[in-house]
Structure formats: structure tokens, C-alpha cells
Structure 1
Amino acid sequence: MNESAREPARVAGEPLLEARHVSKSFGPNPVLRDVSFDVRPGEVHVLAGENGAGKSTLLGILAGTHTEYEGEIRVGGALQRFRHPRDAVRAGVATVHQELSLIGPLSVTDNLFLGSEITGPLGIVDARRQAREARALLDGLDLDRSEVHEDDAVESLPISTQQLVEIAKALAAKANVLLLDEPTSALREPEALRLFDRIEALKRQGKGIVYVSHKMDEIYRLADRITVLRDGAWVGTRAASELPAHDLVAWMLGRHLPSGEHASAAAADVLLSVEGLSVSSASSGSGVSGGARDGGGEAHGADARPDVDDLSFELRAGEILGFAGLRGSGASDVLHALFGDRRGRARGLVTLHGRKDANGRGERIDLARALTSPVEAIDRGIMLLTNDRKGKGLVLHMDARENASLASLVRYSPGGIVRDRLEAAATERVFAQLGVRGRTNAPVRLLSGGNQQKIVLAKCLLTAPEILLLDEPTRGVDVGAKAEIYDLLAKWAREGMGIVLVTSELPELLRLSDRILVLHRGRATAEFSRAEATQEKVLHAAFGAAPDFSLRGDP
């Protein structure tokens, strides 16, 4: 790509916020080098790049978190030097962080005006006026009283509504510029679509929005302009309509990536058959703890609907079978049941065709009596990648090798004693295969999200699975790491591994899956081949609407 293609794109209007020739180092390490960037009225300006590209540091400077830097920041044309986040807010720049900053037990109104309370002549909080203004802010985001009352405790609200309350908090501070850092990371597709509608409304009000996301569909849905950073340096700024996705990825990585596609496994042998799988609700009164439902449901008591209800399906060798559904669909519970993690709540029959019984037939397992722990599942060639990388997938104070070998430690411990050389050889081999970068002898909490996810994948691979269950395998990783994971999944499928995939990113599901099984409230509503599946069809079935085609996806 020639240099002229990287000239900054221009949009109408004077900048609401502008960074000029900004550089920043942490000790001897430069993290931003001569970066210029602006956002204009009624614009969503996406800031893109891999983890470590400098996006978070630039946002920190714009938000007043990082106060020592070279260059200048202008707001409405006026030179600013923020010494504290409060200075940025006073200047009209507010940040909505990936991790919400709301205080759960407090009311919506108290959260909106925390630190900037509206007071009367005697300095006493004017609660009535605050409530009126809170209501006006919520109404401005199309949040009516049936959905959220200004007196509601924030912790009682769904995460998607909390995200909108966080935006209302920024608007309460009279912000003209909003810095949104991966605001959909904890949202499902319908919730994200709702947020996008509010962002469009804010654009119409003339707000400027700086938006950080690793999701390509989000970037191209929202962006007016895209600025790419790589290794702390500005690579280019273009109108989104003039920057194709493959060029955007090439800007971020400095190279083009392979497609990650793999051949269909339609004619391959069946690896896994599941018949009549049901998972009772954790709130059904069974007395068995097994974690929350994957969407957190509303049902209680003995009549609570099951999380999964009489589900049957097959998985073939070399196939990626995708599960689609809204929050609470039961897709994650299917994976956890197959991994032995719904003990006492799962029933149904599972046949492992790669494992033979005494008569040479596939091993047939009654889930009520067997496959009731992850150890049993791993022994039978089934491994799960959890959707909670930091909470359940990694031990953050341990290093990469220790984490990767945790689930397969018995292989490197003849006689019950860990053989360091065996463990090191195995982990280094799989790290090389996965392209793990960074200091693998350091605590994994210090590594990037992409490298942390690769270490969780390494833990899965070291168990030598025949069947790999993936629950949100690219959550929280950048575009480069995501593309590498796609290529790895395609490679493992070509080698004959059976993969079951749950992801809330529909473009990812459509790209990777050979077949897609759609769930609604624990039941299958449709099944599509790769050729048949579209976003519209999948969403239609995920909402529980009866499709105009059979369960097998035939016209």
C-alpha cells in the first residue's frame, strides 16, 4: 500500500477533540510515537489495532488518566493539559470503560450524579431535581420507566441496561465527546444492537464518539472513520467506506493473513452422538450446585424450565459445529454437560464413536451415571475451553507453562512426581504451534489477552482431545490473535478433531461453522448448513420464531 493511501481522511466540522503529535513512554519503553488523531461532531471514530498497539494508552491520555506525555490535546480548539480524569470530564470528555464503574447498591440517580451532585442554596442535595434530570437522561437514551426506574439499584439491572446507564452518566457530565472502550464485550447480539441504536442517536445530537473494538462487524457497522495504530505508531486514517476489512487487518498486523477456511466434513465418521440431552435449571430445587445458567434466567422453584430440553445432535470428525442462541438459550450448558460439569442436573445418552466398548461399538454413556466430572471427560478425549478465561481458565499468578500443563499434569508425572523436562518439552512444543509470544516464565496476568487465550488453548491441546468444546474462544482478544485462532481451528478440523463452538459473534459463527444448530430457551429451533446460514435466518430462529424451513434447514 503506498504512502498516499495513508493520508488522514477528513470529515466536515471542526474537531471536538484533537491529539497532536502525542508520544508517551513508560520508563525506557515507548508506547506511543508521534500520534495525531481527532474526532468531529456527529462522528464515530474507531481506534483499531492489536493489543499493545497503544490504543489504551492514547485513551488514557484523552481521559486524563495518563498525565505525562509529549504533544498536545485540544478540546473545542482550546489547549488542555488534563491532570486528573475530573479535568477531562469538566472539559466535556467522558470515558465509558470496558469494566463498568457503577456502584451496584446505589440507585441509578445516585450513580448518575455521584461526585457532581445537584445541590440547593444551603449545599443540600436537591433529590427531586436530580431525579427529574436522571429521568430526562434515561428518556434521551430511550430507557422508559418500564425498563429502568431512576430509583432502581443498578445491580438489579441487566448488564446491557447498566452499560446504557454508564453512558447516561457520561451525558450527565455534559460530555460532548464519549470514549467507549469495548462497550459490547459483555453483551449478546440483541443487547449490542440496542446499544448501537443509542450510539446512532448520540451522533444525531452532534456528539463525537471514540470507539475501541476488536469486532470487525461492529467496526464497519458504526465507524465513520477508522484510525489504526501499530506498535505505538500511527499507521493510517481512512473513511470506513474506503478501507476494506482485509486492508484494515493488514494495517493492524503489517501483513495479510490466510483465509482460515477448511474443507467440509459432511462425509466424515461420526465422533459424538447426543440423544435426549436435558439439563435441569440450577434454580429447580434439585439442591445440586452447578453454577449459574448461561444467561441467568427468571425461573424459580420446582417448575422452572430446564436450561436444555431434550436436545439431540451429532458431531463428525473434522467438523466445526456451531451453537447459536440468545442469552439463556442453554448453549453454554450443553458444553458444560458434555464436560461433566453439570453433575446431578444432566441426563441423556452420549455415544463416543472414537471409543469402543467390549463389542466394538461406540462407548454409550448415560449422563445420569457417568461423565459426571471434568476428569472423566478429559479421560474420554473431551476438553472444554471456558468462556471465563481469567476466572476459570487460568491461574493468574502462575506462569504460562504451569497453566498449560495443569489439565494434563498426570502425563508428565510418572510415579506422582512431575518431570520438569517432559513438561517443558511438551509445553514449548505447543506454544510454538500456537505462536505464543511474550515472557512465558512470567505470571500470565502480565501477558496480553491474545496470549492468555492461546495458553488456555495450549492447556486444551495438551490433553490430546478428540472433541474440543469452545465457549467464546475469541472473547477479549484483538483482531490479529482472533485471525490466528481461526486458522488454528481450521487446521485442527482438517486433522480430524471434532469441534463444538459457542460464540456470541454471529460473523464468527458463520465463518467458522460447517453447521449451525440454533437454540431458544433450551430447545433446538433450526439447523443450517454453511451454505444455508445467514445472520437473518439465525437471529430469526434464535428469537424462537418458527422458521419457514424444517429443523434440518431444508427449503
Structure 2
Amino acid sequence: MTRDAPPAVRLEGITKRFGDVVANDTVDFTLEKGSIHALIGENGSGKTTLMSVLYGLYDQNEGEIYVDGQEREFDSPRDAMDAGIGMIHQHFQLVKPMTVLQNIVLGHELTENRFGQIDGAAARDEIEAICSQYDFDVDQYLETPIEELDLGAQQRVEIVKSLYRGAEVLILDEPTAVLTPQEVESLMDVMDDLRANGHSLIFISHKLDEALSIAEDITVLRDGEAIGTVDAAETTEQDLARMMVGREILFDRLERETEPGEPVLEVERLRMRGDRGREQVDGVDLTVREGEILGIAGVQGNGQRELIEGITGLRSVADGAVRLRGREITDASRRRRIEAGIAYIPENRQTEGLVQGDSLVRNALLGNQTIEPYANGSLLDWGAVREHANDVITEFDVQPPDPETTASSLSGGNQQKFIVGREIGHDPDVIVASHPTRGVDIGSIEFIHNRLIELRDEGLAIVVVSSKLEEIQKLADRIAVMYEGAFIDIVGPDTVSEEELGLLMAGHRLESAAGEAETPIDEQGDANGAESSESDRGVQT
């Protein structure tokens, strides 16, 4: 970091309005050369808007932008890129049917002669040099379509694309929101390498621990205003949380005051196939009781999605049984399962939870189309639907509090709160929540966590799938760890550390009381078979 040189970026008095809404209110921000500066705040606080101004996506109403000490005006992202600024968006800007190589060079193709022929060899050489310098593996699948890559690999493609286009300043917008813990660790290493090679980074995040671990400086936005900039080495998560939301935030696990009751959801020897016909869930058993939260942890791609889709009726079961309060529902449709009492908070709120172009009133109807008082035979009671939408907005503090606003105009946290409220409104017996706080700010996380715990204490059976180990440990009464389609173990949240959970997620059994060394699960057979029985584990499934 070089503080005696002109800052890489300086924003002075940036104001951005959308009609009567002030998204940024005279914000100052300085990024020193060769440093990582975290920009944090709740959903809707103006973080992405501020960086979209810097990247040329929006014109500011007031204020100035300086790059390397020179005032600049950006009319488009092309202007920002020409000034050496790149942005990796939370939702990747990649053309999925196209290959990695095509995506990287798209719009910045090198030509080898005056007829405009593309010099593919030169582009490959430059990409391979970038990958070699930063130890990326992107050059190994240049001919692979983007849609065949996992999210971590897609993100690395986005970073290589920005570096290929000459970015010296990189804006990373919620870069860890969709990553597994292992991918997050890898990204942090990449950011360290970029900083060491002279790049300057702006790290937009909701995750306070990550901001503290990677950044030198942290700026907090609240309601469009810059609350302050602090030295990461001299602050704490509690201090940052207080700045973000204006009050104290509870971080610790809450002690439960009730005991689980009778079994509600039972899954027996469930087998599920993935999109390509391969078996993704291999004979899983689980039971969730009244007043209990079962957490399911695992590295993405180990069968969690298929298991949840089998429980909620979104995917056909290959073999096994699903029962709700003792009644077989294995072959029941998603509609029948909603009516039977299974609510679902989906992993992807944008594509699975909401119709983005529809109003909140219409989105409140989803899942309620055949249920009284919203439906009477083939007729819908839109007055009752509107009342339901208003109830959700009020109870879950959805902003802006306008039932006619479209889902797409809400921040991620407010979209998530609306979905949670709508699903709870179904009056379910079981809630299945898949990554319920992914990409959500700390205030909304606390709100959603507290609501799930309240529902548990009211007697609901809840399944929570999450890649956030701290979330699983805070919420769950038991934690089932998935590895290669099976449960490698089911443990208590107070009996294992995050490190031990990480080992289980990687397929290693924990050292037993007898001192046996940890062994990869594939050397010990089926985690749900006789070699890992309930009595051996000492846990209830």
C-alpha cells in the first residue's frame, strides 16, 4: 500500500438519486494504491450504487471522481475500463453457452491484420500469462462452456476477464455470497496475490469477519450515507455491526428452552438422481421433530440440492420414502406438499423464489393459489392477497413498504425477508430453508435467524441447508454433514468446531474417543450403512 502516492481512486461528495430516492448522499471514499478497502453496509445502504457510479453504470447527480489524482468522467463502463477499473458483479456477467475463452475476449478481441481477423493465439498467450502469475486454473478449460463450470470457477473467469482488459482497480461486489468455505479461502488468497502485485481492490461485503481479515480500511454505509472509515486492525465485528445498523447485534448462539417433540418429517433410504442422471443422493435417512432445527452442511455439489428437492417435491424420488407425520408423500406433487404443510425457502431467490417483474402482491400469491382465503374454487380474492402482502411487508420490515413495487426493485435482503414471510404465512408444519441468508446483510440475517428460532420454539420442524458453518452452528440442534450423497456424520453443534465441520465436509471422519485416525469416507463404506450406525455415532438420526 502506497499512501504517499495519489490514491488509486478518490470519490468526493458523490450523490446519486433515483427520482425522490437518495441512494448515495454526499459520500466520500478513498482507495489507496496497492490496498484492499472493504465497503460494507446493509442491503439497500448504497454500496453497489456507489460502485456502479465509479464503474460508469450510473451518472452521479453531484460529486467528483478522481483516478490516480486525475478527475475523470465516466459515461459508460467502457470509459471506466479504459481508466483501468474493472468490476466483478455479484451476479456474473457471463454468456453461459459461450466458452471461457470467448467470454474473456468478448468485446476486447485482439486482431492480427487489417481485415479484423482474431488472433486467438495471442489471446491465449496473454490469458495463460495471467493465470500463471496468479495461479489460476482458468487456462485449463478455455474451450469449456461457462454453464458447465461451478460458481467458484465462473468467478475466477470474471477476474481473469478484468485483468485481461487491463484493470488496475478491481471492484468485487459480494464476491463470497455464492461460494463454499473452501472457495472463499481460495478467493482470499487470490485477493492477497492481486494486492501484492500492485492492484487496488474494493471489497463489497456483508460479512464482517471477511472484511476484517482481508482489508486494511473499512468504510461503512448506512441509508446512503458514509458513517465512517476505520482501520481494520483497530476495530471489531461488534463495532462494525453497530455502525451498520445503529444498534447492538447478537452474535452468539441462543440457548433453547424447549425439547423436540414427535417426528414430523421422515426420510428413509432416499435415493435421488441429478440433472444428468447420475445418483446424487445415496440412501439418506433423516428425521426432523417438532421444535427442532436440523442443519445440513456440505460442500456444494454433494447432494444437498437434490435431497431438498426430493423432500419438497421439486424432483422425483428414484427410491426410498418421504413421510409427513407418518403419511407417505413420496410421490406427491409440490402443490400437494404445500397444501400438506411443507414450506420452502429456495436457494436462489431471484429465479426460484420470486417473479422479478411482478409486484409484491402477485408474488405473495405464489404457493397460495389454491388455498383459502386467497382462492375460492377457481376465483382469486385479490383483496385477501393484498392484505397478506401488506402483513408480510409490515411483520418482516420489507423496504420499500409498497405492495405494488416489483420484486426486482428490492435489495437482496428485502427480497429474502419477503420470501421468508410469505412461506411462513402458509402456516406450515415443516420449513425447508436452503441458504436462507445467502447474500443478506447482518441486520437481515439476525432478523431471519431470530424468526426461525421463534418458529422452532413454537413447534415447527425446520431443515436449514447452508454453506455458512457459523450459521449452521448458531441455528441447528443437530448438524448432518453430506459428502458424496450421504451423511458422513450427524453431530451436535456444541460438540464440533468449524475446523472439524470442515474436515467432515471434505470426507474425513473425526478422530474417535478411542483415538482412531480420521479416514476418508470412501474407505469406510456407506455413511448410512452398518459401518456408521446410529449407535456407532452416538447420535439420533
Task: State whether residues 532 and 553 of structure 1, in contact with CA within 8 Å, keep that contact through their aligned partners in structure 2.
Answer: no
Q: Provide, for residues 449-492 of structure 1, a one-character-per-residue CA deviation record: whole Å limited to 9, x for no partner.
A: 22222221222112111211101111232222222111211221
Paired residue for 1:142, among 127, 135, 146? 135
Indicate which of 419, 423, 435 corresponds to 1:460. 423
8 Å contact from structure 2 (residues 271, 284) kept in 1: no
Deviations 1:529-550 (CA, angstroms, capped at 9, x unpaired): 1211321111111111122136
Alignment of 1:177-216 (within 5 A): 177-216=169-208
| Aligned partner of 1:337 among 297, 310, 320 | 310
Q: Which residue of 2 aligns with 1:477?
A: 440
CA displacement, residues 35-86 of structure 1 (integer Å, 9 cap, x when unaligned): 1111123322111112221212211121122234322222122222222222
Q: Are residues 1:382 and 2:342 paired?
A: yes
Partner of 1:418: 380
Distance 2:338 2:147 in 1: 37
| Amino acid of the structure 1 residue aligned with 2:339 | D
SS at match of 1:411: coil
Q: Which residue of 1 aligns with 2:494?
A: 531
User: Following superposition of structure 1 onto structure 2, how do residues 102-141 of structure 1 map, counting pairs within 5 Å?
Assistant: 102-120=94-112, 122=114, 124-141=117-134
d(CA) in 2 for partners of 1:155, 1:415: 42
| Offset, 1:144 | 4.2
Q: Identity of counterpart residues, as a percentage?
A: 31
The one-letter code matched in structure 1 to 2:132 is D
Distance 1:393 1:346, change over 3 A: farther
Task: Report if aligned partners of 2:111, 2:117 keep a CA contact under 8 Å in 1.
Answer: yes
Which of 297, 312, 315 does residue 285 from structure 2 map onto?
312
SS of the aligned residue for 1:408 comes to coil
User: What amino acid does structure 2 have at the position aligned with 1:309?
Assistant: D
Map of 1:242-281 to 2, 5 A cutoff? 242-258=234-250, 261-264=253-256, 267-272=259-264, 274-281=266-273
Q: Deviations over 1:298-324 (max 9, x none)?
A: xx66xx4x2222222222322221000
Distance in 2 separating the partners of 1:349 and 1:106? 39
Match of 1:433 among 388, 395, 406: 395
Q: Deviations over 1:84-123 (max 9, x none)?
A: 2222212211111122223345444443333333344646
Count the aligned residue pairs.
513
Distance change (3 Å), C-alpha of 1:178 and 1:420: closer
Structure 2 residue identity aligned to 1:169: K
Q: State yes or no: 1:61 paired with 2:53.
A: yes
Contact 2:265 2:430 in 1 (8 A): no
Is residue 394 from structure 1 mapped to residue 354 from structure 2 by the alignment? yes
* Aligned match of 1:230: 222
Distance 1:34 1:272, change over 3 A: same
Deviation at 1:14?
4.2
CA contact (8 A) 2:15 2:63 kept: yes
**Are the counterparts in 2 of residues 261 and 490 from structure 1 also a CA contact under 8 Å?**
no
Question: Whole-Å Cα distance in 1 between the matches of residues 468 and 5 of structure 2?
Answer: 34
Structure 1 residues 59 and 366: CA distance shift in structure 2, 3 A? closer
Match of 1:510 among 454, 468, 473: 473
1:39 corresponds to which of 27, 31, 44: 31
Aligned with 2:285: secondary structure?
Answer: strand
**Contact kept in structure 2, 1:278 and 1:307, CA below 8 Å:** no
Q: Which moved more, 1:396-405 or 1:533-542?
A: 396-405
Give 1:23 deviation, angstroms. 2.1
Cα deviation, residue 236, structure 1: 0.7
Q: 1:422 to 1:552 in 2, by over 3 A?
A: same
Could you say what the CA RMSD is over the residues aligned between the two structures, in angstroms?
2.7
Structure 2 letter corresponding to 1:45: H
Separation of aligned partners in 1, 2:101 and 2:380:
56
Amino acid at match of 1:522: G
Structure 2 gaps of 5+ residues are: 513-535
TM-score (norm 2): 0.87
The change in CA–CA distance for 1:446 and 1:119 in structure 2 (over 3 A counts) is: closer
Q: TM-score if structure 1 supplies the norm length? A: 0.85
Counterpart in the other structure of 1:347: 320
**Unmatched segments (≥5 aa) in structure 1:** 1-9, 283-291, 293-299, 353-362
Structure 2 CA distance for partners of 1:195 and 1:221, relative to 1, 3 Å: same
**What per-residue deviation string (whole Å, max 9, x for no partner) do you get for residues 127-157 of structure 1?**
3222211110121231348x72444444443
